[in-house]
Amino acid sequence: MLNSATETSLRKIIHCDCDCFFAAIEMRDDPLLRGRPMAVGGSSDKRGVISTCNYEARAYGVHSAMATAHAKKLCPDLLVVPHNMAKYRLAAQQIRDIFYDYTDAVEPVSLDEAYLDVSASSACQGSATLIAKEIMARVHAEVGITLSAGVAGNKFLAKIGSDWNKPNGLCVILPQQVADFVVELPVAKINGVGKVTAEKLQRLGVQRCGDLQAYTVFELVELFGAFGQRLYKLCRGEDDRPVKVSRQRKSLSVEHTYPEDKDSLSQCLQQLPALFAQLNQRLEGLEGSYLVTKQFVKFKFSDFQTTTVECVVAGSIRLSVYHDLFQQAFERGAGLGVRLLGLGVRFQVSHDSYGEQLPLFPYDLTLHG
Annotated catalytic sites, by residue? 113
- In the chain, which ranges are E strands? 13-18, 38-41, 50-53, 79-81, 106-110, 113-117, 147-152, 170-172, 251-262, 290-301, 306-312, 338-349
Q: Give CA–CA dist 152/88, Å, rounded.
A: 28
Length of the chain: 369
CB atoms within 10 A of CB 65: 9
CB atoms within 10 A of CB 158: 30
Amino acid at 341: L
Q: What angle do CA 258, 337, 369 make, to 5 degrees?
A: 85
Write the DSSP assignment of 251-279 as a string of letters. Answer: EEEEEEEEEEEE-SHHHHHHHHHHHHHHH
Q: Give CA–CA dist 101/252, Å, rounded.
A: 8
Is 324 annotated among the ligand-binding residues?
Answer: no
Q: What angle do CA 285, 12, 52 make, to 5 degrees?
A: 100
Tell me which DSSP letter residue 191 carries: T
212, 234 Cβ separation under 8 angstroms? no
Is 17 annotated among the ligand-binding residues?
Answer: yes
The binding site comprises 17, 112
The binding site for Mg(2+) comprises 17, 112
